Structure formats: structure tokens, C-alpha cells
Structure 1
Amino acid sequence: MGKILLENIKLFGFHGCMPEETFLGSYYTVNLEVELDLYPASISDDLSKTIDYVHLYHIIKEEMAINSKLLEHLAQRIIQRIKKYRIDLIKYTKIKICKENPPLQSSVDRICVVLDD
């Protein structure tokens, strides 16, 4: 077994329930972990035996461009697309999405949602 990790992907999006969140937008940080058997790719040096991290990045970027009220919903959409991409290889997926500087009355650096499947 092994893992492919995409860490600290920084994107801008318009997610949230408050009107200003869908109008002004916010910065987000995404971390993705995908567990799979990396042995075949490590022996063959063949991209088709693993998951292309560039494709994973594009899935995240495309889904981040679609507005959601809840980060939970956004995280689930991303996981479902990743599983659909290579369900034959994926054993486990975990995503963490953080909204940087959320619109709260106090000093909070970020709020995060973690979803695994």
C-alpha cells in the first residue's frame, strides 16, 4: 500500500451560506490523501498503474469553481469524482478543506472540514 498526497493546494472560491461569501469569495486550502497499492507502478514505472496527481489537482480545481453552501458538500463532490476516476485502484480517500479568514466576529485563522471515505 501507499499514499498519494496533495498538500496545501491554495485556491479561491465562493462557498458559504452568508451572502458576502458568495459575492466576495475567500481563499481555501485543500489537502488530499489517496491510498492505493503503489507496488505495480513502483515496479513498472507506468503511469497507468497509479493515479495521476495532475488529474487529481484538476478535479479539485474544477469542483472548487462550483459554488457550494457547505464545505461538507464540496468535499463529498470532490471525493466522488476522484473515486469515479479510478475506483479500481483507490482503497481510501481523505480530504481536508479549510476556509482561510472566515467571516466571524472573532479572530479565527481558518475553519476546516475533513471527510474520508
Structure 2
Amino acid sequence: MAMPFTGDRIILKDLGFYGYHGLMLEEKALGQRFFIDLECGVDLSGPALTDSIGRTVSYADIYDVVKAAFDTRRMHLIEAVAQNIVDAIFQSFQDVNWIIIRVRKPEAPIAMVRGEAAIELHRQRPTA
């Protein structure tokens, strides 16, 4: 049975990783920095009322899953990097009902003096 929508979320912001994702040969060989912002929709009523770690999803555990998903497979596109992370979170945490993920690439191989390239995915847990 689906939990009622509460708008509650666990937020991890500005997670920094070094990786070899990209289309260009330089990106694959030299690597670059990536930053990830993540919101995971989880009903936080239980932990809010009980103050018990056993009633929530650990943001430290979410980070570990994000890092493993980021590091495990090299991708051409940051859209695929984001989807790989989403899939890993849904697989690891049954209480996560939706995810908003932004993958930012500050050294994208385009002629910009300042800024970054980024994508954002909005995903809901697939229903059976």
C-alpha cells in the first residue's frame, strides 16, 4: 500500500565526486569534478514523532549508495549517471517514494568562463 504524500524529504546537497564520465576523450582520460544534489521523498512522520533512527532512512547510507553508483559504471551522459543513481537508491531503500536528482558538471568541455552544465531528473518509484 502506498504511503500518503507528505512532502517530506531527505536532502543531500553539493555532494562532490571525481569521475570519468563524458563523451570526449579528455573527459574519459583525465576525469573531472561532478556535484550532485539529491532529494528523496520519504515519509518522515515516524522518526519525527519517535526520535528513533530505526524509523528512518539514513542519509549516510544514501550517500554510500550514491557514491557506489557514481563510481561503478563510466557513462557517456550525465543523464545516464543520474538514472543509474536513481535506480540504485530505489533498489536499496524501499521507503523512498520519489527522487529529484541534479548532476552538475562545472568543467564541461564548452567555452564558458563561469557556470556549469547540469541536468535534473524527477522520478517516482515504479509501481508493480
TM-score (norm 2): 0.84
In structure 2, what is the equivalent of residue 91 of structure 1? 97
Q: Give me the whole-angstrom Cα distance separating, in 1, the residues matched to 2:20 and 2:54.
A: 34
For residue 79 of structure 2, the aligned residue among 68, 72, 95 is 72
For residue 15 of structure 1, the aligned residue among 16, 21, 26 is 21
Q: Give me the whole-angstrom Cα distance separating, in 1, the residues matched to 2:28 and 2:44.
A: 40
In structure 2, what is the equivalent of residue 33 of structure 1? 39
Residues 41-77 of structure 1: per-residue CA shift (max 9 Å, x gap): 1122222321110011111111221311111111111
RMSD across aligned positions (CA): 1.3
* TM-superposed deviation, 1:22: 0.5
In structure 2, what is the equivalent of residue 44 of structure 1? 50
Quick check: 1:14–1:25 contact (8 Å CA) kept in 2?
Answer: yes
Q: Give me the whole-angstrom Cα distance separating, in 2, the residues matched to 1:24 and 1:8.
A: 22
For residue 62 of structure 2, the aligned residue among 41, 53, 56 is 56
2:12 is the alignment partner of 1:6: yes
Q: Give % identity.
A: 25
Q: 1:32 to 1:13 in 2, by over 3 A?
A: same
* Count of residues in correspondence between the two structures: 116
1:114 aligned counterpart, secondary structure? strand
Letter in 2 for 1:69: H
Q: Give me the whole-angstrom Cα distance separating, in 1, the residues matched to 2:54 and 2:87.
A: 20
TM-score (norm 1): 0.91
Runs of 5+ consecutive residues of structure 1 not aligned to the other structure: none
Higher relative contact order (CA 8 A, sep 6+): 1
